[in-house]
Amino acid sequence: MRTLNVALGDRAYPIHIGPGLLTQPELLLPVLKTPRVIIVTNDRVGPLYLAKLRDTLEGAGVRVSAVELPDGEVHKDWMTLNCIFDALLEGRCERSTTLIALGGGVVGDMGGFAAATYQRGMPFVQVPTTLLAQVDSSVGGKTAINHPLGKNMIGAFYQPRLVLADTATLDTLPARELAAGVAEVIKYGLIRDSEFFVWLEANLERLMAREPEALADAIERSCRNKAEVVAADETEQGERALLNLGHTFGHAIETGMGYGEWLHGEAVAAGTMMAAELSCRLGWLGRADVERIAALFQRARLPVWGPELGVGRYLELMSHDKKVEAGRLRLVLLKSIGRAVMHADAPLADIEAVIAARCR
Ligand code: NAD
Ligand code: GLY
C-alpha cells in the first residue's frame, strides 16, 4: 500500500492506494466517529463491491446501512441527491454517522454533497472505484450535482476524512471508462509535471493494459500532484483553477451533448485539444507540442476533436463556466507542456477559430 497526505491542517487526511484495501477494516475504523456508517453507491458498483465493504465493516462491529442510486451522469441531479437524504432520514442517521461513497466520480460528488449538507455536515469517506475517481475526483473536496444549464453548478467544498483507493476494483472497469480516467492523468503532466508527461509517453500502453505497477505509479503521481495543489489552494482562489485545463470546453461538450453521452474524461481530452490549439494560436505552444499531446490522447483511445455543436452554442455553454469573472471568460491555457496558466484576454475571434478548427 502507498499512502499520501493531503495537508490541510487539522482537516488533513490520508489517501491510501493499493489492491485489496476494501477488506482492511483497520484503515477505516480510525476515521469513524461512531460505529455507524451509511454506504452510498449505485446499482452498477453495488452488486460488485457493496457486500465486500459491508462485510469488512460489520466484521469489525460497525452498523451499516446502504443506498444504491441509479447509475449514470444523467442521474447526478436533485432528484437522485434526495434519495440519499431519504435514506439518511429513514435510517435515522445522525450527525456523527459516517457517509462512505463507494463508486466513481458521480457517486463521490453526490455523496460528498449530501455529507456536506445533511444536518449541516457529517463525516465523509471516499472509496473511489474508477481510475478517474482514484486520480482526481475523490481528492480535494469538490462535491456537486449538475443543473440542466451547466455541469457541477450546485455544490460545496467538503473534504473527506480518508480516501481509500482499492486498485483491485479497476479490474472490472470497462475499457472506455479506464481511458476516460487516463485523460485526467495526462492533465497533471500537462499542467505542472512535464516529467510525468514524458513517463506517460513511455508507459501509456502499460497503463491501458492495467499493469498493476504502472497503474499504482500513475495513481500515486496524479494524487501527489492533486494533493499539492489542493493543500496550496483548497477553495480555488488561484492555482487550483489550473486543474480545470480543458474543462471549460469539455463541460460545454458534456452539457451540450446531454449528460452521459460523452464521458467526462472524453470531453476533457477534446477540450484540452481546444485549449492546446488556442495556446498555439497565441504563440505559446509549438505545433509539434500540440501534435505530441494529440498523439498521447489518441494512444489512450480518447477523442481529440469535439462534436459539432456550433461555435455559438459552445460559447453560450461556456459562458456559464465557474471561472467566468465579471462576465469575462477565463481559460486555462498552456505556456508549454508542464506549465499551465490562467488567461482572461484571449481574443474572442481566436476562441471561435479554435472551436471551429477542432470540431469534426
Ligand atoms: P462515473 O462515476 O459515472 O463512473 C463511470 C462508470 O463506471 C459508471 O457506470 C459506474 O457505475 C461504473 N463503475 C464505477 N466503478 C466501477 C468498477 N470498479 N467496475 C465497473 N464499473 C464501475 O464516472 P467517473 O468517470 O468516475 O466520474 C465522472 C464524474 O466525476 C463527473 O460527474 C465529473 O464531473 C466528476 N468529477 C469530479 C471531480 C472533483 O474534483 N470532484 C473531478 C473530476 C471529475
Ligand atoms: N478536478 C478539478 C479540481 O478538483 O479542482
For 66-123, write each residue's pLDDT tens digit: 999 999 999 999 999 999 999 999 999 999 999 999 999 999 999 999 999 999 999 9
- Neighbouring residues of 257: CB distance < 8 A, sequence distance ≥ 6: 267, 307, 309
Ligand 2 centroid vs 246 CA: distance in angstroms? 12
Q: Is the pLDDT of residue 166 over 90?
A: yes
347 burial class (0-12, 13-18, 19+ CB within 10 angstroms)?
exposed
Asked if residues 307 and 272 have their Cβ atoms less than 8 Å apart, the reply is no
Q: What percent of the chain has pLDDT over 70?
A: 100
With CA atoms as reference, report the closest residue to 320 among 152, 80, 178: 152
CA distances (Å), origin 248, targets 91, 184, 268: 39, 14, 9
Mean pLDDT of 306-315: 97
- The set of cell numbers assigned to 248 is 471549460
**Measured torsion, CA atoms of residues 288, 267, 230, 322, in degrees rounded to the nearest 10:** 110
Mean pLDDT of 316-338: 92
- The set of cell numbers assigned to 126 is 471516499
The type of residue at 64 is: V
What atom in ligand 1 is closest to the CA of residue 112?
A: 41
CA 128 – CA 296 distance, rounded (Å) = 25
Mean pLDDT of 51-71: 98
Pairing assessment for the beta strands 339-343 and 331-336 based on DSSP bridges:
antiparallel
What atom in ligand 1 is closest to the CA of residue 140?
A: 40
Ligand 1 centroid vs 198 CA: distance in angstroms? 26
User: pLDDT category, 328, cuts 50, 70, 90?
Assistant: confident
Residue-level pLDDT at 322: 87
Please work out whether the CB of residue 136 comes within 6 Å of at least one atom of ligand 2: yes
Mean pLDDT of 177-202: 98
What atom in ligand 2 is closest to the CA of residue 184?
A: 1
Please work out whether the CB of residue 225 comes within 6 Å of at least one atom of ligand 2: no
User: pLDDT category, 325, cuts 50, 70, 90?
Assistant: confident
Radius of gyration of the chain measured on its C-alpha atoms: 20
Q: Which phi and psi angles does 212 have, rounded to 5°? A: -55, -40
Residue-level pLDDT at 264: 96
What is the set of domains in the chain, with CATH numbers?
Answer: 2-172 (3.40.50.1970), 175-357 (1.20.1090.10)
Residue minimizing CA distance to atom 3 of ligand 2: 243
User: pLDDT category, 266, cuts 50, 70, 90?
Assistant: very high
Task: Cell 471551429: give the residue.
Answer: 356
Best mutation site among 43, 71, 147, 177 for ligand 1 pocket (most ligand atoms within 8 Å of CB): 177
Q: Is the pLDDT of residue 136 over 90?
A: yes
Best mutation site among 106, 157, 243, 264 for ligand 2 pocket (most ligand atoms within 8 Å of CB): 243
Q: Which residue numbers are catalytic?
A: 120, 142, 184, 226, 236, 240, 244, 247, 251, 264
Mean pLDDT of 315-343: 93
Ligand 1 centroid vs 358 CA: distance in angstroms? 26
Pairing assessment for the beta strands 124-128 and 331-336 based on DSSP bridges:
unpaired
With CA atoms as reference, report the closest residue to 85 among 124, 118, 107: 118
Residue-level pLDDT at 230: 98
Ligand 2 centroid vs 109 CA: distance in angstroms? 11
CA 357 – CA 221 distance, rounded (Å) = 33
What atom in ligand 2 is closest to the CA of residue 236?
A: 5
Q: Is the pLDDT of residue 150 over 90?
A: no
Please work out whether the CB of residue 187 comes within 6 Å of at least one atom of ligand 2: no
Q: Is the pLDDT of residue 16 over 90?
A: yes
Residue-level pLDDT at 107: 98
Ligand 2 centroid vs 241 CA: distance in angstroms? 7
Mean pLDDT of 223-240: 97
Please work out whether the CB of residue 135 comes within 6 Å of at least one atom of ligand 2: no
Residue minimizing CA distance to atom 43 of ligand 1: 137
Indicate the length of the chain as a whole number. 360
Mean pLDDT of the chain: 97
With CA atoms as reference, report the closest residue to 18 among 243, 253, 217: 217
Ligand 2 centroid vs 243 CA: distance in angstroms? 5
Mean pLDDT of 276-287: 97
Ligand 1 centroid vs 161 CA: distance in angstroms? 20
Q: Is the pLDDT of residue 323 over 90?
A: no
Residue-level pLDDT at 105: 98
Q: Which protein residues are within 6 Å of ligand 1, measured from CB?
A: 42, 44-45, 48, 71, 73, 76, 103-107, 109, 129-130, 132-133, 136-137, 140, 142, 151-152, 169, 172-173, 177, 180, 264-265
CA 332 – CA 51 distance, rounded (Å) = 42
With CA atoms as reference, report the closest residue to 297 among 224, 197, 217, 226: 197
